[in-house]
Amino acid sequence: MALVLLGSAIAAVGLQFFLLPNHLLDGGVTGVAIISTYLSGLPLGLFLVLFNIPFVYLGYKKFGRTFAIYSTIGILALATLTSVHLSDGFTHEPILAAVFGGLFVGIGVGIVVRYGGIIDGADTIAVLIDRVTVFSVGEAIMFINGIIISLAGFVFGWEQALYSLIAYFVAHKAIDVTVEGLNEDRSVWIVSMHVREIGKVINQVIDEPVTYVKESDPKDKEPHGVLLAVITRFEEQKIKSAIYSVDKNAFIVISNAHEIIGKDSIA
């Protein structure tokens, strides 16, 4: 929870001291909120809360209560820290504002995502699009943010939109580095003497099938079992806790899964 708050504070620095004073944005729900604030004159924090409510609800239905709690805390913290607009930032040079604003926002968002929440609902939509269409999370995020930054061109001018595009790419890369693969699912390999029990616990935590590569058998020369599961980045911490609740000595390998085909048919 403390790290979620820290991530929100870092993202707020990027917005308040770099992007907002220079009429720049980095896409996502935050970008729509910035445009709405500019057009209406109402506080940015108000739009951040309102626009993220449906996405937090979707996340709650799909990823669970803990995800919704952490996301709510992160969004409220960011909304509070950006409720008062600062007219002067650290720089009025657009390229510097785009690079450093995108860097701070990306690191902040990445920390929140890494520890189980979001502060921008576009990530939730991107994950859901990935699950029901042929588009990857990265392609979905690119499409969503392309539309939002195009809107910024009509509101702030096309030069500001181009600088916003730079801010978005910097933020996107910073998120990627912070969470070690934002755009990818995770493959989890578990070696344990209790793979069946672990598999049942994982099924209770997430609504995804698991694959028993090798069963546990005390009579074998290698008695341990091997289990494979595919999860999202939001579920990583939850799954590790579930595994260790069954077997504290379990051996776990988590790696990025660049492409998942037909995982719903695996059992």
**Of 99, 184, 100, 180, residue with least CA distance to 141:** 184
- 181 pLDDT higher than 60: no
Select the more confidently predicted residue: 227 or 140: 227
Rounded distance between C-alpha atoms, residue 187 and residue 253, angstroms? 8
**CB-count burial class (<10 Å; 0-12, 13-18, 19+) for 87:** exposed
Instruction: Give the residues across from 228 on adjacent strands.
Output: 189, 211
How distant, in Å, are the alpha carbons of 36, 112, 136, 159, 254 from that of 44?
A: 8, 19, 30, 22, 38
Rounded distance between C-alpha atoms, residue 223 and residue 194, angstroms? 10
Residues 13-17, mean pLDDT to the nearest whole number: 93
Question: What confidence tens digit (pLDDT) does each residue in 208-265 have?
Answer: 788 898 888 877 778 889 999 988 877 888 889 889 999 999 999 988 776 666 655 4
- Residue 232 pLDDT: 80
Q: What is the DSSP letter of 120?
A: S
**Of 86, 15, 88, 75, residue with least CA distance to 47:** 75
* Average pLDDT value over all residues in the chain: 84
Q: In what order do the strands lie in the sheet with 225-231?
A: 210-214, 225-231, 185-192, 251-257
113 confidence band (pLDDT: 50, 70, 90)? confident
Residues 66-85, mean pLDDT to the nearest whole number: 90
Q: Which two structure tokens, joined as six digits, stand for 30?
A: 């935050």
**Of 204, 242, 11, residue with least CA distance to 106:** 11
- Residue 182 pLDDT: 46
Residues 117-140, mean pLDDT to the nearest whole number: 72
Q: Domains plus CATH for the chain?
A: 2-179 (no CATH), 185-265 (3.30.70.120)
Rounded distance between C-alpha atoms, residue 105 and residue 108, angstroms? 5
100 confidence band (pLDDT: 50, 70, 90)? very high
Residues 63-77, mean pLDDT to the nearest whole number: 90
Q: Which of 25-39, 108-122, 139-153 has the lowest mean pLDDT?
A: 139-153
Residues 27-42, mean pLDDT to the nearest whole number: 88
Q: Which of 34-38, 97-101, 154-158 has the lowest mean pLDDT?
A: 154-158
Residues 46-53, mean pLDDT to the nearest whole number: 92
Of the chain, the percentage scoring pLDDT greater than 90 comes to 29
